[in-house]
Amino acid sequence: MKNFSKFLMSAMCVTALAFSAGAFYKAYAADPATTVTSMPAGQPVDLTYAAEKALPAVVHIKYVQNSKTQMVEVQSDPFSDFFFGNPFGDFFGNPNGGSTQKRPYKTPKKTATGSGVIITADGYIVTNNHVVEGADELTVTLNDNREFSARIIGTDKTTDLALIKIDGKSLPTLPIGDSDKVKVGEWVIAVGNPFGFNSTVTAGIISAKARTLGANGVESFIQTDAAINAGNSGGALVNVQGELVGINAMLYSQTGSYSGYGFAIPTTIMNKVVADLKEYGTVQRALLGIHGSDVRAYLDKEKEDGNEVDLGTNDGVYVGEVDNESAAEEAGLKKGDAIVAIDGKTVTKFAELTEVMASKRPGDKVTLTYLRDKKKHTVTVTLKNAQGNTKIVKQADLDVLGANFREVTEAQKKQLGISYGVEVTKINAGALKDAGVSKGFVIQEVNDEAIKTLEDMQNAVKAASTSKDPVLYIKGVWPTGKKGYFAVEISK
């Protein structure tokens, strides 16, 4: 992360931390039904119930990426062909004097560890995308040392969340709490497997909410001073009632180890991602179609430039740009507006708007309250997807191809200079891999038909599999911009 060198992804856990009794002002009874109440200064908070609930449901995840043989281009000795069989080949074929050849290179085997949280008794586990991304094997170890092989149900790089599954029954789970109700100053524990120390618990408070760090596309982090270190990623942030309120994701550090703050993805975002991955195989992302900043940040910037601006509020979301044909444009929003509420909920900064939007799907309607020329307006907005419509898109996970796909984003279109395409987001054993296609390749045509949507891809495969010539002639582009052509044989 270029602009994020101080923030390090880490697999979450915690080291034991002692607190003086005089530092605690909240109390909590071990009975889960008991309401947390204030206690006189000097009385310690009891976190044992929260730890007892969390530890059995937090797992250790071992990641393995097997060694692979790849063909890489290497520059040979410019005189080798002269002495060994082709004395003129390089002089006419390569202006640099040496021939470019493809030779096999064996990548080293990679292993890593992280954490995860069991959320259903039959084995669904939430973790971070960066804990499982690229894995060939995933091994999950429970708190009682039972081991299971896990498979990936779905991943979402935009929120850095992933859903994996183990085959089990009556597994320990962690109740899911409402992160919206978490308060700054509230006590929490972080549970995970830092530095290989399994089942570690650390304690601290909620330091802030709705933090943005620039690490992921969708962010509204819970900030905590509970120690989070490498190996804690994907672990649990738990309130004193023993409820999951966040998935630990990263730490702030100049050394690579805990030095004050960790960050967790709130359950309000997690719940939507998990539901989408289960039902559709991909996250249904609803877009408002605006770009901007916190009102406070905008006003500060204008003041620095010598401009005195009065938006009628010091809090909210400043609309700096409205996308063409977006939901926001259709609803009448304009540059210079200040959004102050969504669905009646006050919005003080961009991350809070992002968190609400992360719970929505294309086609959902939201009510926005905004200020224009210091006058309050309310409008109902029908949200769209990245393709500019309100359709729910199902993941094309085509067994015959052994791959997962998604439609390219607006950012990819600009980067690659294309107007449509379907990206290969995951590659397994199958026809595409056999043909040489790998993750990241963007398919634009199959058998001379444009591939603009996942449905186009599915229809192309269906047509080819029922034809006399079951071959997909694929044209597309690599992430580098280089074009690629493949003939993919599929079975009927």
Coil vs helix vs strand at 205? strand
Q: Which of 10, 179, 199, 233 is catalytic?
A: 233
* Cβ–Cβ < 8 Å for 451, 473: no
CA distance 427 to 217: 23
Tell me the C-alpha distance between 425 and 282, whole Å. 11
Q: Of these residues, 130, 225, 337, 456, which one is catalytic?
A: 130
For 3, left (φ over 0), alpha (ψ -120 to 50), or beta?
Answer: alpha
The three-point CA angle 473-478-483 to 5° equals 55
Residue 115 sits at φ, ψ, to 5 deg, of: -130, 165
- The letter for the amino acid at 427 is I
CA 142 to chain CA centroid, nearest Å = 24
Reference 128, options 202, 200, 216, 51; nearest CA is 216
DSSP state of 384: B
Tell me which residue of 370, 412, 372, 342 sits closest to 157, measured CA to CA: 412
Catalytic annotation present for 178:
no
Q: Which residues are 477's β-sheet partners?
A: 442, 483
Rounded Cα distance, 166 and 415, in Å = 38
What is the DSSP pairing of strand 124-127 with strand 161-165?
A: antiparallel
Told to judge if 225 belongs to the known catalytic residues of this protein, a careful annotator would answer no
Q: Out of 90, 160, 337, 456, pick the active-site residue.
A: 160
| Neighbour tally for 201: CB within 10 Å | 25
Phi and psi at residue 411, to the nearest 5°: -65, -40
Residues sharing a CB contact under 8 Å with residue 88, sequence separation 6 or more, in sequence order: none
Structure tokens at 148: 């299971």
Asked about 130 being catalytic, the answer comes back as yes
In the block, tokens 């949200």 appear at 383
Please give the positions annotated as active site.
Answer: 130, 160, 233
